[in-house]
Structure 1
Amino acid sequence: MRLRVIIGAALGIAACVFVFSRHDWDEIWQAVALLGWGLAAIILWRFVSIIVAGASWRLLYAPGARPRFGFTVIARWVSESVNGLLPVAQVGGELARARLAFHALKRAGKPSSGLDSAATVIVDMTLALVAQAAFALPGLWHLWQLNEGAIARIVGGVAVSILPLVLLIAAQHQGAIKGGTALAARFGLARLVADEAQEHPLWTRLAALYRRLSLAAAVTGGHLVAWSCRAGETYIALHLMGQDIGLLDAVMIEGLLNAARTAGFLLPAGLGIQEGALLLLCGWAGIPGPVALALALVKRARELGVGLPGLVAWAVLERPKMRRHHHAR
């Protein structure tokens, strides 16, 4: 794991240096400076999508065993913070929110199962990727409208959009695993379900949730709204930097950018992938390279503005469990 992180970080940093070295830093900073206090608005705007995504995940719990709404939002915030800032290959945050929800339910005296928390998180991840792939479709159509000869771009966009979803579904297939513990281990959730997974395989809980089609559709719809809110972040930032773009431009950029980051999950925090993808996608929308890289810096600043407090919140929430573990020893 450490070697993978070191190699991934080195490759990502090298890609960032290469991309930024080919552009004028003065022009990039001038575009960033146009944002001013708008950066604070962009950071706050991110919480809209976090609230919607948290509410969607909460629906997957049985009505009598749901965590409080506010808590699911906080857990979703922690998850995004961990995945965005720590070298955890996009699964550490899911483990964090599953653990937080499990212990919150126990404290509230509600029916609590590690398997249920793990299942809701894995299904939520899958439906979020379904929504992400659906969200990319208007952007791909808009890309076709911008350049009807962009067949290679369209094919590449489709592949990047659906590859993470295909891999995630394949990981959940009953025939590809040997019991619930093996599947839980793939998502970093083995310890959470260690006492239950052998008697009640995790995949049976997953299948039960997927069979509730109306529930799956509602959760997917919620995540579509969340992805749309994230496109609003790109729209606001580019307008503040003086770029006259349309909503479909923002949808195309944000949809394919997130798909690229998900597909490149092995690179910590999407280093290099986000910067290179923004340069490419903004270029397709007619946005100059320095402005695209300014947007990349704004998104990194937003990640810090949202993620650092999220990591602090995680540490505060985990402290009682750490204290109990220390006393037990």
Structure 2
Amino acid sequence: MTDPALDTDRPRPARSLGRAVLRRLPLVGTLLGLALGTWLVATNDLGAIADAFGRVGAPGLAAIVLVRVLILLLCGMAWGQTIRGLAGIGQAGSGAFAVLRFVREGINVLLPVASVGGDVVGGRLLTFWGATGALAAASIMVDMLFQAGTQAVFALLGVGLLLQVSGESAHALATWVLRALAVTALLLAGFVAAQRSPAARAAARRVVAWGRRALRGPEAADSPQGGGVYGALDAIWARARRGNLAASILLHLAAWLLGAVEIGIALACIGVPSVGVAEILIIEALSQAIKSAAFPVPSGLGVQEGGFVLLGGLFGIDAGTALALSLVKRVPDVVLGLPALILWQTLEARRGTILPPRA
């Protein structure tokens, strides 16, 4: 009698094929992104790219890394604001959220996880500080909502400034981004509805129960975990009037704006005086929007570079300088991301030992 586990002639279940596709999607995105980035660099003047990058110098790169540190600290504070003061957060103080925000970023920018894997890991690691799983998951959901929402606002600012620029290319790009933002607004509204609407919650519970039944068997369909997350979401949204959620939103907005400082430093070091504050804001806001639109491509490989070439061309920045600018923006990804990955593995190894004290 043939062992079913060894019978390779039997058709694979549809759910197994679906999981296989999802697992390979980030890898495919990585390969496509690397191909696009390599093509962009290879088809432009390598000497010009290297010269522009070299002019930033060690002091300029150090300043940009420090700005990125401040950005991630603000994002960590914003995350912590979503559940500050709630029961069930254990010993998770501001230090924990800052540390884990660096870990989230390091995973998202350096590993093939489609730009969201770090957020999932960050929520799980928060439980190492004693936070309940439901509250950790809910905090990640709200934080990602605020991060995406404030990015949409920042992109809208970039569109508004771009509409002041003359030229058909600028207006065509602004129109495309506005359409993308309209889709984003619908998706964010659906995300909020899924958290707040009783009907959406009931539908989500049925989907989760169906998924558990399909993956683990009938006995798994009645798991109460979904209700715990919804209860934690209710607790978070109930605190909206206390100002914590508003503070989280403002901190995320400040973080997005600070990203423009990185570009300003790089352009000043390279020596591009013709680009002003408005142009820098446009480049940062819309390059981030383009990168986020290609979320299946980890860290926007290739996509970010193409976005900088496109946007830089609107303001007289040559392709070599634009590509160098994109590479400069990736320096903090590596400088901060590698220690973050090491920290992640250290936290995993120490799981269940000593909980850090409340910051």
TM tier relative to shorter chain: 0.7 to 0.9
For the pair 1:293 / 2:319, whether they are aligned, the reply is no
Shift of 1:16: 1.2
Aligned counterparts of 1:113 and 1:165: Cα–Cα separation in 2: 30
Q: Which residue is 2:334 aligned to?
A: 304
For the pair 1:278 / 2:308, whether they are aligned, the reply is yes
CA contact (8 A) 1:261 1:273 kept: yes
For the pair 1:72 / 2:97, whether they are aligned, the reply is yes
Read off the aligned partner of 2:110 and give its amino acid letter.
Answer: L
Shift of 1:73: 0.6
Q: Which residue is 1:85 aligned to?
A: 110
Aligned counterparts of 2:142 and 2:182: Cα–Cα separation in 1: 16
Aligned counterparts of 2:302 and 2:291: Cα–Cα separation in 1: 10
Shift of 1:169: 4.4
Secondary structure of the structure 2 residue equivalent to 1:307: helix
CA contact (8 A) 2:163 2:174 kept: yes
In the alignment, which of 202, 208, 226 is matched to residue 229 of structure 2? 202
Q: Which residue is 1:97 aligned to?
A: 122
Secondary structure of the structure 2 residue equivalent to 1:63: coil
Read off the aligned partner of 1:232 and give its amino acid letter.
Answer: V
With structure 2 as the length reference, what TM-score do the two structures score? 0.78
Aligned counterparts of 1:208 and 1:31: Cα–Cα separation in 2: 50
Q: Percent identity?
A: 32
Read off the aligned partner of 2:269 and give its amino acid letter.
Answer: L
Read off the aligned partner of 1:91 and give its amino acid letter.
Answer: V
CA contact (8 A) 2:107 2:341 kept: yes
Larger Rg: 2
Aligned counterparts of 2:107 and 2:322: Cα–Cα separation in 1: 25
In the alignment, which of 180, 203, 208 is matched to residue 182 of structure 1? 208
Q: Which residue is 2:70 aligned to?
A: 48
In the alignment, which of 151, 171, 180 is matched to residue 151 of structure 1? 171
Q: Which residue is 1:135 aligned to?
A: 154
Shift of 1:138: 2.4
For the pair 1:34 / 2:61, whether they are aligned, the reply is no
Superposition RMSD in Å: 2.6
Read off the aligned partner of 1:98 and give its amino acid letter.
Answer: G
Q: Which residue is 2:144 aligned to?
A: 125
In the alignment, which of 223, 246, 257 is matched to residue 228 of structure 1? 257
Q: Which residue is 1:327 aligned to?
A: none
Aligned counterparts of 1:273 and 1:286: Cα–Cα separation in 2: 20
Secondary structure of the structure 2 residue equivalent to 1:145: coil
Read off the aligned partner of 1:152 and give its amino acid letter.
Answer: A
| Structure 2: 5+ residue stretches without partners | 1-21, 212-221, 355-359
Aligned counterparts of 1:226 and 1:271: Cα–Cα separation in 2: 22
Q: Which residue is 1:188 aligned to?
A: none
Q: Which residue is 1:191 aligned to?
A: none
CA contact (8 A) 1:78 1:310 kept: yes
In the alignment, which of 73, 76, 85 is matched to residue 63 of structure 1? 85
Q: Which residue is 1:109 aligned to?
A: none
Aligned counterparts of 2:206 and 2:119: Cα–Cα separation in 1: 17
With structure 1 as the length reference, what TM-score do the two structures score? 0.85
Read off the aligned partner of 1:265 and give its amino acid letter.
Answer: F
For the pair 1:246 / 2:246, whether they are aligned, the reply is no
Cα deviation, 1:220-261, whole Å, max 9, x if unaligned, reads: 111000111111111111111111222222211111111111
Aligned CA distance change for structure 1 residues 302 and 162 (closer, same or farther; 3 Å)? farther
Aligned counterparts of 2:138 and 2:267: Cα–Cα separation in 1: 38
Aligned counterparts of 1:11 and 1:322: Cα–Cα separation in 2: 39
**More off after superposition, 31-40 vs 6-15:** 6-15
Aligned CA distance change for structure 1 residues 286 and 57 (closer, same or farther; 3 Å)? same
| Paired residue total | 308
Read off the aligned partner of 1:92 and give its amino acid letter.
Answer: G
Aligned counterparts of 1:180 and 1:251: Cα–Cα separation in 2: 44
CA contact (8 A) 1:56 1:222 kept: yes
In the alignment, which of 259, 264, 280 is matched to residue 289 of structure 2? 259
Shift of 1:320: 1.6
